[in-house]
Amino acid sequence: MLRAMSLFLALTACSPEPALATVAAPPLEAGQAAAVFAGGCFWCMEKPFEILPGVLSVTSGYTGGEIEGPSYAQVSSHATKHREAIRVVYDPGRIGYERLLEVYWHNIDPTQADGQFCDRGHQYTSAVYVRTPEERAAATASKEAVQAALGKTVVTEILDASTFWVAEGYHQDFYKTNPARYHSYRTGCGRDARLTELWGSQAGH
Protein backbone atom coordinates (compact mmCIF):
# COMPACT_ATOMS: atom_id res chain seq x y z
CA MET A 1 0.00 0.00 0.00
CA LEU A 2 2.75 2.47 0.92
CA ARG A 3 4.68 1.65 -2.25
CA ALA A 4 1.54 2.17 -4.35
CA MET A 5 0.80 5.50 -2.69
CA SER A 6 4.40 6.69 -3.12
CA LEU A 7 4.35 5.68 -6.76
CA PHE A 8 1.05 7.52 -7.32
CA LEU A 9 2.50 10.69 -5.84
CA ALA A 10 5.62 10.35 -7.95
CA LEU A 11 3.63 9.78 -11.13
CA THR A 12 1.35 12.74 -10.55
CA ALA A 13 4.42 14.97 -10.38
CA CYS A 14 5.61 13.76 -13.78
CA SER A 15 4.61 14.70 -17.28
CA PRO A 16 1.17 13.42 -18.35
CA GLU A 17 2.66 12.29 -21.64
CA PRO A 18 2.80 8.48 -22.08
CA ALA A 19 6.12 6.98 -21.01
CA LEU A 20 8.38 5.64 -23.71
CA ALA A 21 9.42 2.00 -23.63
CA THR A 22 12.45 1.38 -21.46
CA VAL A 23 15.83 0.98 -23.12
CA ALA A 24 18.69 -1.44 -22.56
CA ALA A 25 21.58 -0.28 -20.39
CA PRO A 26 24.46 1.23 -22.39
CA PRO A 27 27.67 -0.73 -22.95
CA LEU A 28 30.48 -0.39 -20.45
CA GLU A 29 33.48 1.79 -21.08
CA ALA A 30 37.04 0.49 -20.98
CA GLY A 31 38.12 -0.46 -17.46
CA GLN A 32 34.59 -0.73 -16.12
CA ALA A 33 32.65 -3.72 -14.80
CA ALA A 34 29.00 -4.14 -13.87
CA ALA A 35 27.12 -6.14 -11.25
CA VAL A 36 23.35 -6.69 -11.27
CA PHE A 37 21.40 -7.34 -8.08
CA ALA A 38 17.69 -7.75 -7.38
CA GLY A 39 16.81 -6.87 -3.81
CA GLY A 40 13.21 -5.80 -3.73
CA CYS A 41 12.34 -2.13 -4.19
CA PHE A 42 15.06 -0.65 -6.36
CA TRP A 43 14.55 2.75 -4.74
CA CYS A 44 16.08 1.29 -1.58
CA MET A 45 19.03 -0.43 -3.24
CA GLU A 46 20.70 2.53 -4.93
CA LYS A 47 22.17 4.53 -2.03
CA PRO A 48 24.13 1.74 -0.28
CA PHE A 49 26.12 1.21 -3.47
CA GLU A 50 26.37 4.81 -4.69
CA ILE A 51 28.28 5.83 -1.56
CA LEU A 52 30.99 3.17 -2.06
CA PRO A 53 34.40 4.36 -3.30
CA GLY A 54 35.01 2.81 -6.70
CA VAL A 55 31.33 2.65 -7.69
CA LEU A 56 30.77 4.83 -10.75
CA SER A 57 27.00 4.65 -11.14
CA VAL A 58 23.93 2.79 -9.93
CA THR A 59 20.87 2.46 -12.16
CA SER A 60 17.43 1.12 -11.34
CA GLY A 61 15.82 -1.17 -13.87
CA TYR A 62 14.27 -4.50 -14.76
CA THR A 63 15.88 -7.79 -15.70
CA GLY A 64 15.24 -11.50 -16.08
CA GLY A 65 11.92 -11.24 -17.90
CA GLU A 66 10.39 -12.29 -21.18
CA ILE A 67 9.67 -9.09 -23.13
CA GLU A 68 11.79 -6.21 -24.40
CA GLY A 69 11.49 -2.71 -23.01
CA PRO A 70 9.13 -3.47 -20.11
CA SER A 71 7.40 -0.63 -18.30
CA TYR A 72 6.89 -0.40 -14.55
CA ALA A 73 3.20 -1.08 -15.04
CA GLN A 74 3.92 -4.23 -17.05
CA VAL A 75 6.43 -5.53 -14.52
CA SER A 76 4.01 -4.80 -11.67
CA SER A 77 1.27 -6.73 -13.44
CA HIS A 78 3.28 -9.95 -12.93
CA ALA A 79 3.02 -10.63 -16.67
CA THR A 80 6.66 -10.22 -17.73
CA LYS A 81 8.62 -12.20 -15.09
CA HIS A 82 11.08 -9.33 -14.66
CA ARG A 83 12.49 -8.37 -11.29
CA GLU A 84 13.22 -4.87 -10.07
CA ALA A 85 17.01 -4.68 -9.98
CA ILE A 86 19.99 -2.35 -9.93
CA ARG A 87 23.01 -2.23 -12.20
CA VAL A 88 26.18 -1.22 -10.37
CA VAL A 89 28.94 0.03 -12.66
CA TYR A 90 32.27 0.04 -10.87
CA ASP A 91 36.03 0.27 -11.24
CA PRO A 92 37.40 -3.20 -10.38
CA GLY A 93 40.76 -1.59 -9.65
CA ARG A 94 39.20 0.27 -6.73
CA ILE A 95 36.51 -2.08 -5.43
CA GLY A 96 36.05 -5.82 -5.81
CA TYR A 97 32.99 -7.85 -6.72
CA GLU A 98 33.19 -9.60 -3.35
CA ARG A 99 32.73 -6.27 -1.55
CA LEU A 100 29.67 -5.52 -3.68
CA LEU A 101 28.23 -8.89 -2.73
CA GLU A 102 28.79 -8.14 0.95
CA VAL A 103 26.90 -4.85 0.67
CA TYR A 104 24.15 -6.59 -1.27
CA TRP A 105 23.50 -9.23 1.38
CA HIS A 106 23.45 -6.63 4.15
CA ASN A 107 20.67 -4.73 2.34
CA ILE A 108 18.22 -7.60 1.77
CA ASP A 109 16.44 -10.34 3.67
CA PRO A 110 17.84 -13.41 1.88
CA THR A 111 15.48 -15.71 3.79
CA GLN A 112 12.27 -14.20 2.38
CA ALA A 113 10.92 -16.13 -0.59
CA ASP A 114 7.79 -14.15 -1.50
CA GLY A 115 9.33 -10.72 -2.03
CA GLN A 116 11.24 -8.29 0.17
CA PHE A 117 9.87 -6.84 3.39
CA CYS A 118 6.33 -5.52 2.80
CA ASP A 119 6.59 -5.83 -1.00
CA ARG A 120 5.32 -9.17 -2.26
CA GLY A 121 5.45 -10.76 -5.69
CA HIS A 122 8.03 -12.15 -8.08
CA GLN A 123 9.25 -8.71 -9.17
CA TYR A 124 10.46 -8.07 -5.61
CA THR A 125 12.24 -11.37 -5.00
CA SER A 126 16.00 -11.38 -4.56
CA ALA A 127 18.58 -12.61 -7.06
CA VAL A 128 22.20 -12.14 -8.06
CA TYR A 129 22.72 -12.03 -11.84
CA VAL A 130 26.14 -13.22 -12.99
CA ARG A 131 27.95 -13.00 -16.33
CA THR A 132 31.11 -15.04 -15.79
CA PRO A 133 32.14 -18.28 -14.09
CA GLU A 134 34.20 -16.18 -11.70
CA GLU A 135 31.18 -14.13 -10.68
CA ARG A 136 29.10 -17.28 -10.21
CA ALA A 137 31.79 -18.83 -8.01
CA ALA A 138 32.09 -15.68 -5.90
CA ALA A 139 28.31 -15.32 -5.58
CA THR A 140 27.88 -18.97 -4.64
CA ALA A 141 30.62 -18.81 -2.02
CA SER A 142 29.16 -15.66 -0.50
CA LYS A 143 25.66 -17.16 -0.44
CA GLU A 144 26.97 -20.22 1.38
CA ALA A 145 28.79 -18.01 3.88
CA VAL A 146 25.64 -15.97 4.52
CA GLN A 147 23.58 -19.11 5.05
CA ALA A 148 26.11 -20.40 7.56
CA ALA A 149 26.26 -17.06 9.37
CA LEU A 150 22.49 -16.73 9.63
CA GLY A 151 21.82 -20.39 10.31
CA LYS A 152 18.81 -20.15 7.99
CA THR A 153 18.06 -21.18 4.41
CA VAL A 154 19.03 -18.49 1.91
CA VAL A 155 16.49 -18.44 -0.91
CA THR A 156 18.17 -15.77 -3.05
CA GLU A 157 18.80 -17.15 -6.54
CA ILE A 158 22.02 -16.92 -8.53
CA LEU A 159 21.07 -16.60 -12.19
CA ASP A 160 22.66 -15.93 -15.55
CA ALA A 161 22.51 -12.26 -16.47
CA SER A 162 20.28 -11.08 -19.29
CA THR A 163 19.37 -7.69 -20.71
CA PHE A 164 19.08 -4.96 -18.10
CA TRP A 165 16.34 -2.47 -18.97
CA VAL A 166 16.75 1.03 -17.51
CA ALA A 167 13.68 2.01 -15.48
CA GLU A 168 11.69 5.16 -16.08
CA GLY A 169 13.33 8.42 -15.07
CA TYR A 170 11.18 9.09 -12.02
CA HIS A 171 12.56 5.91 -10.42
CA GLN A 172 16.21 6.94 -10.72
CA ASP A 173 17.76 8.29 -7.49
CA PHE A 174 14.33 8.41 -5.89
CA TYR A 175 15.93 8.75 -2.47
CA LYS A 176 17.42 12.06 -3.63
CA THR A 177 14.54 13.45 -5.66
CA ASN A 178 11.76 12.49 -3.23
CA PRO A 179 13.47 12.06 0.17
CA ALA A 180 10.37 12.47 2.34
CA ARG A 181 8.37 9.93 0.34
CA TYR A 182 11.36 7.60 0.18
CA HIS A 183 11.97 7.58 3.92
CA SER A 184 8.26 7.23 4.68
CA TYR A 185 8.04 4.22 2.39
CA ARG A 186 11.25 2.63 3.67
CA THR A 187 10.22 2.99 7.31
CA GLY A 188 6.63 1.92 6.73
CA CYS A 189 7.76 -1.16 4.84
CA GLY A 190 9.82 -2.30 7.84
CA ARG A 191 12.99 -2.57 5.81
CA ASP A 192 15.46 -1.07 8.27
CA ALA A 193 13.98 -2.84 11.26
CA ARG A 194 14.28 -6.22 9.57
CA LEU A 195 17.80 -5.50 8.31
CA THR A 196 18.92 -4.65 11.83
CA GLU A 197 17.26 -7.80 13.13
CA LEU A 198 19.17 -9.89 10.61
CA TRP A 199 22.52 -8.12 10.39
CA GLY A 200 22.93 -6.00 13.52
CA SER A 201 25.58 -3.32 13.12
CA GLN A 202 26.38 -4.59 9.62
CA ALA A 203 22.91 -3.74 8.33
CA GLY A 204 23.04 -1.60 5.22
CA HIS A 205 26.82 -1.74 4.89
- Cα–Cα distance for residue pair 88/174, rounded to 1 Å: 16
Q: Among residues 130, 178, 123, 174, which one has the least CA distance to residue 34?
A: 130
Q: Considering the candidates 14, 41, 118, 189, report the single residue annotated as catalytic.
A: 41
Q: 186-198 burial, b if ≥16 CB within 10 A, otherwise e?
A: beebebeebbeeb
Told to judge if 41 belongs to the known catalytic residues of this protein, a careful annotator would answer yes
Q: Among residues 155, 168, 144, which one has the least CA distance to residue 115?
A: 155
Strands 33-39 and 83-90: antiparallel
**What pairs with residue 83 in β-bridges?**
63
Contact 116, 41 (CB under 8 A): yes
Q: What angle do CA 150, 153, 156 make, to 5 degrees?
A: 100
**What pairs with residue 29 in β-bridges?**
none
With 0-12 / 13-18 / 19 or more C-beta atoms within 10 angstroms meaning exposed / middle / buried, residue 70 is buried
Contact 25, 153 (CB under 8 A): no
Q: Looking at the annotation, which residues are catalytic?
A: 41
